[in-house]
Structure 1
Protein backbone atom coordinates (compact mmCIF):
# COMPACT_ATOMS: atom_id res chain seq x y z
CA UNK A 1 0.00 0.00 0.00
CA UNK A 2 2.87 2.36 0.79
CA UNK A 3 4.46 1.57 -2.57
CA UNK A 4 1.19 2.32 -4.38
CA UNK A 5 0.91 5.62 -2.51
CA UNK A 6 4.48 6.52 -3.46
CA UNK A 7 3.76 5.75 -7.12
CA UNK A 8 0.60 7.85 -6.95
CA UNK A 9 2.39 10.83 -5.39
CA UNK A 10 5.27 10.66 -7.85
CA UNK A 11 3.07 10.77 -10.93
CA UNK A 12 3.21 13.93 -12.98
CA UNK A 13 -0.42 14.84 -12.38
CA UNK A 14 -0.08 15.11 -8.60
CA UNK A 15 3.10 17.14 -8.84
CA UNK A 16 1.50 19.41 -11.45
CA UNK A 17 -1.49 19.89 -9.15
CA UNK A 18 0.76 20.78 -6.20
CA UNK A 19 2.62 23.35 -8.28
CA UNK A 20 -0.68 24.78 -9.54
CA UNK A 21 -2.03 25.15 -6.00
CA UNK A 22 1.11 26.94 -4.83
CA UNK A 23 1.09 29.25 -7.85
CA UNK A 24 -2.61 29.96 -7.38
CA UNK A 25 -1.98 31.02 -3.79
CA UNK A 26 0.82 33.34 -4.86
CA UNK A 27 -1.24 34.70 -7.76
CA UNK A 28 -4.14 35.28 -5.36
CA UNK A 29 -1.94 37.46 -3.17
CA UNK A 30 -0.71 39.41 -6.19
CA UNK A 31 -4.24 39.94 -7.49
CA UNK A 32 -5.52 40.96 -4.04
CA UNK A 33 -2.73 43.51 -3.79
CA UNK A 34 -3.50 44.74 -7.30
CA UNK A 35 -7.20 45.14 -6.51
CA UNK A 36 -6.75 46.74 -3.10
CA UNK A 37 -3.77 48.97 -3.86
CA UNK A 38 -4.26 49.93 -7.52
CA UNK A 39 -7.79 49.25 -8.80
CA UNK A 40 -9.88 50.29 -5.80
CA UNK A 41 -8.24 53.74 -5.43
CA UNK A 42 -8.93 54.33 -9.15
CA UNK A 43 -12.54 53.17 -8.77
CA UNK A 44 -12.85 55.32 -5.64
CA UNK A 45 -11.50 58.34 -7.53
CA UNK A 46 -14.08 57.99 -10.28
CA UNK A 47 -16.90 57.43 -7.77
CA UNK A 48 -16.13 60.63 -5.89
CA UNK A 49 -13.65 59.36 -3.31
CA UNK A 50 -15.76 56.42 -2.14
CA UNK A 51 -13.81 53.61 -0.51
CA UNK A 52 -15.79 50.42 -0.96
CA UNK A 53 -14.04 48.60 1.86
CA UNK A 54 -15.51 51.05 4.38
CA UNK A 55 -19.10 50.72 3.15
CA UNK A 56 -21.38 48.95 5.60
CA UNK A 57 -24.86 48.88 7.04
CA UNK A 58 -24.66 49.12 10.81
CA UNK A 59 -27.19 46.88 12.54
CA UNK A 60 -26.19 47.84 16.08
CA UNK A 61 -23.71 50.45 17.24
CA UNK A 62 -20.69 49.55 19.33
CA UNK A 63 -21.09 49.99 23.06
CA UNK A 64 -18.23 51.97 24.59
CA UNK A 65 -17.50 51.97 28.32
CA UNK A 66 -16.69 55.15 30.26
CA UNK A 67 -12.97 54.44 30.06
CA UNK A 68 -13.15 54.31 26.22
CA UNK A 69 -12.89 50.54 25.80
CA UNK A 70 -15.36 48.79 23.52
CA UNK A 71 -17.54 46.45 25.57
CA UNK A 72 -19.70 45.29 22.65
CA UNK A 73 -18.41 45.63 19.08
CA UNK A 74 -20.69 46.94 16.37
CA UNK A 75 -22.67 44.55 14.27
CA UNK A 76 -22.61 45.52 10.61
CA UNK A 77 -23.11 44.13 7.12
CA UNK A 78 -19.87 44.98 5.29
CA UNK A 79 -21.11 45.01 1.71
CA UNK A 80 -18.16 47.14 0.58
CA UNK A 81 -15.72 44.34 1.36
CA UNK A 82 -17.97 42.05 -0.65
CA UNK A 83 -17.80 44.45 -3.62
CA UNK A 84 -13.99 44.36 -3.36
CA UNK A 85 -14.13 40.56 -3.38
CA UNK A 86 -16.34 40.55 -6.49
CA UNK A 87 -13.94 42.87 -8.31
CA UNK A 88 -11.10 40.60 -7.22
CA UNK A 89 -12.96 37.57 -8.62
CA UNK A 90 -13.58 39.25 -11.97
CA UNK A 91 -9.91 40.20 -12.31
CA UNK A 92 -8.69 36.71 -11.36
CA UNK A 93 -11.14 35.16 -13.82
CA UNK A 94 -9.98 37.46 -16.60
CA UNK A 95 -6.30 36.77 -15.91
CA UNK A 96 -6.90 33.01 -15.89
CA UNK A 97 -8.86 33.33 -19.14
CA UNK A 98 -5.96 35.16 -20.79
CA UNK A 99 -3.42 32.61 -19.50
CA UNK A 100 -5.46 29.61 -20.69
CA UNK A 101 -6.10 31.25 -24.06
CA UNK A 102 -2.36 31.91 -24.53
CA UNK A 103 -1.53 28.35 -23.47
CA UNK A 104 -4.04 26.89 -25.92
CA UNK A 105 -2.45 28.88 -28.75
CA UNK A 106 0.96 27.37 -28.00
CA UNK A 107 -0.31 23.80 -28.12
CA UNK A 108 0.00 22.00 -31.42
CA UNK A 109 -3.32 20.96 -32.89
CA UNK A 110 -3.98 17.27 -32.54
CA UNK A 111 -3.54 15.35 -35.73
CA UNK A 112 -6.47 13.17 -36.59
CA UNK A 113 -5.65 9.50 -36.83
CA UNK A 114 -5.70 8.23 -40.36
CA UNK A 115 -8.71 6.01 -40.97
CA UNK A 116 -7.90 2.32 -40.96
CA UNK A 117 -7.63 0.87 -44.43
CA UNK A 118 -10.86 -0.66 -45.56
CA UNK A 119 -10.53 -4.41 -45.51
CA UNK A 120 -12.81 -7.39 -45.59
CA UNK A 121 -15.65 -7.41 -43.11
CA UNK A 122 -15.90 -9.85 -40.24
CA UNK A 123 -18.45 -11.90 -42.13
CA UNK A 124 -16.18 -12.14 -45.16
CA UNK A 125 -13.27 -13.32 -43.01
CA UNK A 126 -15.43 -15.94 -41.29
CA UNK A 127 -16.69 -17.18 -44.66
CA UNK A 128 -13.09 -17.44 -45.90
CA UNK A 129 -12.08 -19.44 -42.79
CA UNK A 130 -15.10 -21.71 -43.27
CA UNK A 131 -14.18 -22.35 -46.90
CA UNK A 132 -10.55 -23.12 -45.98
CA UNK A 133 -11.70 -25.59 -43.33
CA UNK A 134 -14.01 -27.30 -45.84
CA UNK A 135 -11.11 -27.83 -48.24
CA UNK A 136 -9.11 -29.75 -45.62
Structure 2
Protein backbone atom coordinates (compact mmCIF):
# COMPACT_ATOMS: atom_id res chain seq x y z
CA UNK A 1 0.00 0.00 0.00
CA UNK A 2 1.41 3.36 -0.93
CA UNK A 3 2.04 6.16 1.51
CA UNK A 4 -0.62 8.37 -0.12
CA UNK A 5 -3.30 5.64 0.16
CA UNK A 6 -2.43 5.06 3.82
CA UNK A 7 -2.59 8.77 4.53
CA UNK A 8 -5.93 9.09 2.69
CA UNK A 9 -7.44 6.22 4.73
CA UNK A 10 -6.15 7.79 7.93
CA UNK A 11 -7.35 11.30 7.09
CA UNK A 12 -10.83 10.18 6.05
CA UNK A 13 -11.56 8.16 9.19
CA UNK A 14 -14.54 9.54 11.03
CA UNK A 15 -12.76 10.30 14.30
CA UNK A 16 -9.97 12.23 12.56
CA UNK A 17 -12.49 14.41 10.74
CA UNK A 18 -14.44 14.90 14.00
CA UNK A 19 -11.23 15.93 15.75
CA UNK A 20 -10.39 18.41 13.00
CA UNK A 21 -13.85 19.97 13.26
CA UNK A 22 -13.52 20.17 17.05
CA UNK A 23 -10.15 21.93 16.77
CA UNK A 24 -11.54 24.48 14.30
CA UNK A 25 -14.63 25.18 16.40
CA UNK A 26 -12.50 25.29 19.56
CA UNK A 27 -10.16 27.85 18.00
CA UNK A 28 -13.08 30.05 16.99
CA UNK A 29 -14.62 29.68 20.45
CA UNK A 30 -11.29 30.64 22.02
CA UNK A 31 -11.19 33.86 19.98
CA UNK A 32 -14.75 34.67 21.05
CA UNK A 33 -13.87 34.18 24.71
CA UNK A 34 -10.68 36.22 24.32
CA UNK A 35 -12.66 39.06 22.80
CA UNK A 36 -15.23 38.82 25.59
CA UNK A 37 -12.50 39.01 28.23
CA UNK A 38 -10.48 41.78 26.53
CA UNK A 39 -13.39 43.89 25.32
CA UNK A 40 -16.21 43.28 27.82
CA UNK A 41 -14.97 41.89 31.15
CA UNK A 42 -11.57 43.50 31.74
CA UNK A 43 -12.40 47.15 30.89
CA UNK A 44 -15.01 47.49 33.70
CA UNK A 45 -12.67 45.71 36.12
CA UNK A 46 -9.85 48.07 35.12
CA UNK A 47 -12.18 51.06 35.53
CA UNK A 48 -13.22 49.86 38.99
CA UNK A 49 -9.54 49.61 39.93
CA UNK A 50 -8.89 53.22 39.00
CA UNK A 51 -8.69 53.19 35.22
CA UNK A 52 -6.09 50.45 34.92
CA UNK A 53 -5.65 48.85 31.49
CA UNK A 54 -4.50 45.32 32.20
CA UNK A 55 -2.56 45.16 28.94
CA UNK A 56 -0.31 47.93 30.24
CA UNK A 57 0.49 46.27 33.58
CA UNK A 58 4.13 45.28 33.55
CA UNK A 59 7.35 45.34 35.49
CA UNK A 60 10.29 46.86 33.62
CA UNK A 61 13.39 44.73 34.17
CA UNK A 62 15.61 46.87 31.96
CA UNK A 63 14.79 50.22 30.41
CA UNK A 64 15.16 50.75 26.70
CA UNK A 65 18.43 52.43 25.70
CA UNK A 66 20.64 53.27 22.78
CA UNK A 67 23.91 51.40 22.73
CA UNK A 68 27.26 53.03 21.83
CA UNK A 69 26.87 51.89 18.22
CA UNK A 70 23.64 53.92 17.97
CA UNK A 71 21.27 50.94 17.90
CA UNK A 72 18.05 51.14 19.90
CA UNK A 73 17.75 48.33 22.43
CA UNK A 74 14.18 47.71 23.57
CA UNK A 75 13.10 47.38 27.17
CA UNK A 76 12.78 44.01 28.88
CA UNK A 77 9.46 43.68 30.70
CA UNK A 78 7.35 41.16 32.58
CA UNK A 79 3.83 41.67 31.20
CA UNK A 80 1.78 40.35 34.09
CA UNK A 81 -1.35 42.22 32.98
CA UNK A 82 -1.52 40.15 29.81
CA UNK A 83 -0.99 37.04 31.93
CA UNK A 84 -3.98 38.00 34.12
CA UNK A 85 -6.13 38.32 30.99
CA UNK A 86 -5.00 34.92 29.73
CA UNK A 87 -5.84 33.34 33.11
CA UNK A 88 -9.33 34.85 32.97
CA UNK A 89 -9.70 33.50 29.40
CA UNK A 90 -8.69 30.05 30.58
CA UNK A 91 -11.05 30.09 33.55
CA UNK A 92 -14.02 31.08 31.39
CA UNK A 93 -13.25 28.41 28.77
CA UNK A 94 -12.67 25.76 31.47
CA UNK A 95 -15.96 26.68 33.18
CA UNK A 96 -17.94 26.48 29.93
CA UNK A 97 -16.36 23.14 28.99
CA UNK A 98 -17.13 21.86 32.50
CA UNK A 99 -20.78 22.88 32.14
CA UNK A 100 -21.05 21.21 28.71
CA UNK A 101 -19.49 17.94 29.93
CA UNK A 102 -21.63 18.02 33.07
CA UNK A 103 -24.78 18.46 30.97
CA UNK A 104 -23.77 15.63 28.65
CA UNK A 105 -23.11 13.32 31.62
CA UNK A 106 -26.55 14.10 33.06
CA UNK A 107 -28.21 13.36 29.71
CA UNK A 108 -26.36 10.06 29.48
CA UNK A 109 -27.45 9.14 33.03
CA UNK A 110 -31.09 9.85 32.16
CA UNK A 111 -30.84 7.67 29.07
CA UNK A 112 -29.24 4.85 31.05
CA UNK A 113 -31.80 5.14 33.83
CA UNK A 114 -34.75 4.57 31.50
CA UNK A 115 -35.77 0.92 31.77
CA UNK A 116 -35.87 -0.82 28.45
CA UNK A 117 -39.21 -2.45 27.74
CA UNK A 118 -39.13 -6.22 27.45
CA UNK A 119 -38.92 -7.42 23.88
CA UNK A 120 -42.19 -8.43 22.24
CA UNK A 121 -42.70 -12.18 21.97
CA UNK A 122 -41.60 -13.70 18.71
CA UNK A 123 -44.08 -15.15 16.24
CA UNK A 124 -43.10 -18.66 17.32
CA UNK A 125 -43.76 -17.87 20.97
CA UNK A 126 -47.20 -16.49 20.09
CA UNK A 127 -48.03 -19.64 18.15
CA UNK A 128 -46.86 -21.83 21.03
CA UNK A 129 -49.02 -19.83 23.45
CA UNK A 130 -52.04 -20.29 21.16
CA UNK A 131 -51.40 -24.03 20.96
CA UNK A 132 -51.06 -24.20 24.76
CA UNK A 133 -54.32 -22.31 25.21
CA UNK A 134 -56.10 -24.63 22.74
CA UNK A 135 -54.79 -27.70 24.54
CA UNK A 136 -56.00 -26.33 27.87
CA UNK A 137 -59.52 -25.95 26.47
CA UNK A 138 -59.64 -29.52 25.15
Give the alignment partner of residue 7 of structure 2, picking from 5, 8, 24: 5
* TM-score, structure 1 as length reference: 0.68
How far apart are the structure 1 equivalents of 2:51 and 2:66? 29
| Structure that is richer in helix per residue | 2
* TM superposition outliers: structure 1 runs of 4+ over 6 Å: none
User: What secondary structure, in the 3-state scheme, does the structure 2 residue paired with 1:59 have?
Assistant: strand
Aligned Cα RMSD in Å?
Answer: 2.6
Corresponding residue for 1:15? 17
User: What secondary structure, in the 3-state scheme, does the structure 1 residue paired with 2:72 have?
Assistant: strand
Superimposed CA distance per residue, residues 75-126 of structure 1 (whole angstroms, 9 cap, x where no aligned partner): 1111111111111111111111122222333335347xxxxxxxxxxxxxxx
* 1:71 and 2:72 matched: yes
Superimposed CA distance per residue, residues 44-72 of structure 1 (whole angstroms, 9 cap, x where no aligned partner): 1222222221111111111269xxx9811
5+ residue gaps, structure 2:
114-138
* TM-score, structure 2 as length reference: 0.68
Superimposed CA distance per residue, residues 19-40 of structure 1 (whole angstroms, 9 cap, x where no aligned partner): 0000011011101100100010
5+ residue gaps, structure 1:
112-136
Segment drifting more, 27-36 vs 101-110 = 101-110
Q: Tell me, yes or no, if the aligned pair for 1:62 and 1:70 is still in contact at 8 Å.
A: no
